[in-house]
């Protein structure tokens, strides 16, 4: 690239006015780029604030439907649902995941009944919200998470959610081969239209703590998840994970967490040119809220700048607990 020398070239010329900055803006953030994660709890007319996620609550199914209608009005295209399973319904084998009347299925059905195709429902496929030990799969006597045996349960969980009306199945467990097994089962059961958004590059991160509070697994977790979630040091391995999931039938892929892994988002987008999503996880959300509360930054500006960073890195969209607030700012 060649440019005339200064002063014939003045890069500030196009920055002088708002209309000019808008004309040359390289990346844009709109409500259509946002997915709003929501937590569902038991009960009626219930809201349960989550202390480690200020401004985020668990909602009973009836109140969750209200949140869905707010999302539609704000232009958000999709919700991601996560259940807070009662302790008495948790078990070593996570059998509640297969219950057609569980919280995830009831919430999915209620939102689809109320909103139809005005909004999409993305459902999490993993066993950690249902297991008594907090791991994403079945464990052996030594505490090792079993791959193939877990995949069998995940397939049943995915079909359970598809029957309830899920639009996108999102396996977040990081078991090998689960995308192909789920895709085959969906096709055989007549759910060929249901998308799979694979958590293809999910890292064993320190940023998940508030989420585990939200789904009730933090105090239950025995050990860690390093034997199946990715090492934060690795990028090439992420590309292998993405390649395998796409070959097995994933329609889109996800990188999780978000801001600390923008290089991974960029690498995936450049390598595969497929829809790539990033999850701005609970720890990231909590840090923005803490910074704003401490006066270290202006909340609205922090929210929009970080979300735009995902788009700049190549993300098609972002799962963010700030989604509704951001969508309203963008639509104002």
Write out the catalytic residue numbers: 202, 256
Binding residues for Mg(2+): 241
Nearest alpha-carbon partner for 284 in 308, 266, 303 = 303
β-pairing, 252-256 vs 47-49, is unpaired
For residue 262, what are its two tokens? 């923008």
Binding residues: 241
3-state secondary structure of 191: coil
Q: What is the dihedral of CA 143, 148, 154, 159, to 10 degrees?
A: -160
**Whole-angstrom distance, CA of residue 1 vs CA of residue 75:** 39
**Whole-angstrom distance, CA of residue 243 vs CA of residue 267:** 12
For residue 111, what are its two tokens? 């939102």
For residue 286, what are its two tokens? 């909590």
For residue 321, what are its two tokens? 């607990």
For residue 31, what are its two tokens? 């409500």
- Beta partners for residue 48, in sequence order: 58
3-state secondary structure of 29: coil
**Whole-angstrom distance, CA of residue 249 vs CA of residue 272:** 14
Residues 320, 286 contacting (CB under 8 angstroms): no
3-state secondary structure of 193: coil
Which residue shows structure tokens 């807070």?
A: 84
Using a 10 angstrom Cβ sphere, with 0-12 exposed, 13-18 middle and 19 or more buried, the burial of residue 226 is: exposed
Using a 10 angstrom Cβ sphere, with 0-12 exposed, 13-18 middle and 19 or more buried, the burial of residue 290 is: exposed
């Amino acid at each position: 690239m060649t440019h005339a020398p200064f002063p014939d070239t003045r890069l500030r010329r196009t920055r002088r006015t708002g209309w000019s900055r808008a004309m040359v803006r390289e990346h844009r953030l709109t409500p259509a780029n946002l997915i709003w994660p929501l937590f569902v709890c038991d009960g009626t007319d219930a809201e349960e604030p989550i202390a480690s996620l200020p401004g985020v609550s668990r909602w009973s199914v009836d109140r969750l439907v209200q949140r869905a209608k707010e999302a539609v009005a704000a232009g958000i295209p999709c919700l991601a649902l996560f259940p807070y399973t009662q302790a008495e319904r948790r078990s070593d084998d996570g059998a509640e995941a297969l219950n057609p009347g569980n919280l995830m299925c009831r919430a999915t059905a209620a939102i689809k009944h109320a909103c139809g195709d005005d909004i999409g429902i993305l459902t999490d496929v993993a066993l950690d919200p249902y297991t008594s030990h907090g791991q994403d799969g079945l464990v052996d006597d030594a505490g090792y998470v079993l791959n193939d045996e877990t995949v069998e349960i995940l397939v049943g969980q995915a079909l359970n959610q598809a029957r309830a009306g899920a639009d996108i199945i999102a396996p977040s467990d990081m078991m090998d081969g689960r995308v192909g097994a789920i895709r085959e089962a969906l096709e055989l059961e007549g759910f060929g239209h249901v998308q799979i958004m694979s958590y293809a590059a999910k890292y064993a991160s320190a940023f998940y703590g508030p989420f585990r509070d939200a789904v009730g697994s933090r105090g239950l977790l025995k050990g860690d998840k390093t034997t199946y979630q990715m090492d934060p040091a690795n990028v090439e391995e992420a590309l292998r994970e993405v390649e395998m999931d796409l070959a097995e039938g994933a329609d889109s892929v996800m990188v999780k967490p978000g801001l600390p892994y923008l290089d991974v988002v960029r690498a995936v987008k450049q390598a595969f040119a497929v829809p790539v999503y990033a999850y701005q996880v609970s720890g990231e959300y909590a840090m923005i809220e803490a910074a704003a509360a401490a006066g270290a930054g202006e909340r609205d500006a922090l929210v929009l700048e970080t979300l735009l960073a995902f788009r700049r890195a190549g993300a098609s969209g972002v799962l963010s607990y700030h989604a509704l607030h951001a969508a309203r700012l963008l639509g104002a």
